[in-house]
C-alpha cells in the first residue's frame, strides 16, 4: 500500500532546509574571530608597514593583529568621503557597486602616507568588493611609489577567494615585488593571523 507523506512533515523538512541555508549564509559572512584590536604604536625603525582599508572592521582586525606581531607601522586608508551603510549595501547599485563597475573610479583619500622610504615590506589589506579590491586601493597605488618593496596583499570577504584582486593592483602599481594574495578566513583567530604574518615575513627575508 502506498503511504503518503503528511503535508505537515513536508512543510517541516522545507522549513528546516531554509533554516540551514540561512545558517550557512550567516557563517560565511561572519567576521574574523577577533574581539578586540591590539594597540599598535609607532616603531622608530620599523621595516614593515601595514596599510589597510576597512569599512566594517574585518580587515582592520587582521591588519592590526598582524602589525602587532610584526612590530610594524600602520597606515589606514581613510576615504575623503566616508562610506555610509547605504553606500555599502551591495547589489543595490549603491556607491560601492558603481565604483566597482567603473574601472576608472578613483575615490579620494583623506590623508596620504608621508614617506615609504624606511620600509622594505608593505602588507596591504582590503575587503573583496565584487571579486576585486575596492577602487580606493587603486587611488592609493597610483599615488605612491612601491618600487623595490615587497608587497604582501591580503583580504577578507564573505566567501569569495582573493581571485585576481592583487594581480589587478599589481598591474597599476610600479616596481614592487608582489607576493600571492592571501584571503584570511573568516574564522581565523588572532594567533593564526600572527603566525601567518610572521611566516610571510620570514619568507620575504629568505
| Interacting residue with ligand FMN among 37, 57, 105, 113 (CB under 6 A) | 57
By beta-carbon proximity to ligand FMN, the closer residue of 44 and 94 is 94
* Residue 160 contacts ligand FMN per CB under 6 A: yes
The residue whose grid cell reads 566597482 is 100
By beta-carbon proximity to ligand FMN, the closer residue of 54 and 150 is 54
Query: How far are the Cα atoms of 125, 130, 134, 151, 161 from residue 101, in angstroms, in the given order?
Result: 21, 9, 10, 25, 19
Q: State which of positions 22-41 bind ligand FMN (CB under 6 A).
A: none
Cell representation of residue 113: 602616507
| Interacting residue with ligand FMN among 34, 74, 96, 140 (CB under 6 A) | 96
CB 61 within 8 A of CB 37: yes
Q: Which stretch binds ligand FMN (CB under 6 A): 10-18, 72-80, 111-119, 150-158?
A: 150-158
* Residue 55 contacts ligand FMN per CB under 6 A: yes
* Residue 188 contacts ligand FMN per CB under 6 A: no
SS3 68: helix
Cell representation of residue 172: 597599476
x/- map, 106-135, ligand FMN, by CB under 6 A? ---------------------xxxxx----
The residue whose grid cell reads 608593505 is 122
d(Cα 43, Cα 22) in Å, to the nearest integer?
44
* Residue 157 contacts ligand FMN per CB under 6 A: yes
Query: How far are the Cα atoms of 5, 73, 74 from residue 52, in angstroms, in the given order?
Result: 55, 11, 8
List contacts with ligand FMN (CB under 6 A).
54-60, 88, 90, 96-97, 127-131, 156-160
Amino acid at each position: 500500500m502506498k503511504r503518503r507523506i503528511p503535508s505537515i512533515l513536508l512543510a517541516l523538512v522545507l522549513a528546516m532546509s531554509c533554516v540551514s541555508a540561512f545558517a550557512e549564509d550567516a557563517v560565511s559572512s561572519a567576521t574574523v574571530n577577533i574581539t578586540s584590536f591590539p594597540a599598535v604604536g609607532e616603531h622608530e625603525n620599523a621595516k614593515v608597514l601595514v596599510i589597510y582599508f576597512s569599512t566594517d572592521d574585518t580587515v582592520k582586525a587582521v591588519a592590526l593583529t598582524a602589525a602587532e606581531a610584526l612590530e610594524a607601522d600602520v597606515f589606514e586608508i581613510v576615504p575623503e568621503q566616508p562610506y555610509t551603510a547605504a553606500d555599502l549595501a551591495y547589489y543595490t547599485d549603491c556607491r560601492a557597486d558603481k565604483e566597482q563597475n567603473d574601472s576608472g573610479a578613483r575615490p579620494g583619500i583623506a590623508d596620504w602616507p608621508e614617506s615609504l622610504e624606511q620600509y622594505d615590506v608593505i602588507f596591504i589589506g582590503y575587503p573583496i568588493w565584487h571579486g576585486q579590491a575596492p577602487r580606493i586601493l587603486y587611488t592609493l597605488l597610483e599615488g605612491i611609489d612601491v618600487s623595490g618593496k615587497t608587497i604582501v596583499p591580503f583580504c577578507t570577504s564573505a566567501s569569495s577567494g582573493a581571485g585576481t584582486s592583487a594581480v589587478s593592483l599589481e598591474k597599476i602599481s610600479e616596481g614592487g615585488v608582489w607576493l600571492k594574495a592571501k584571503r584570511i578566513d573568516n574564522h581565523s583567530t588572532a594567533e593564526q593571523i600572527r603566525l601567518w604574518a610572521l611566516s610571510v615575513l620570514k619568507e620575504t627575508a629568505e
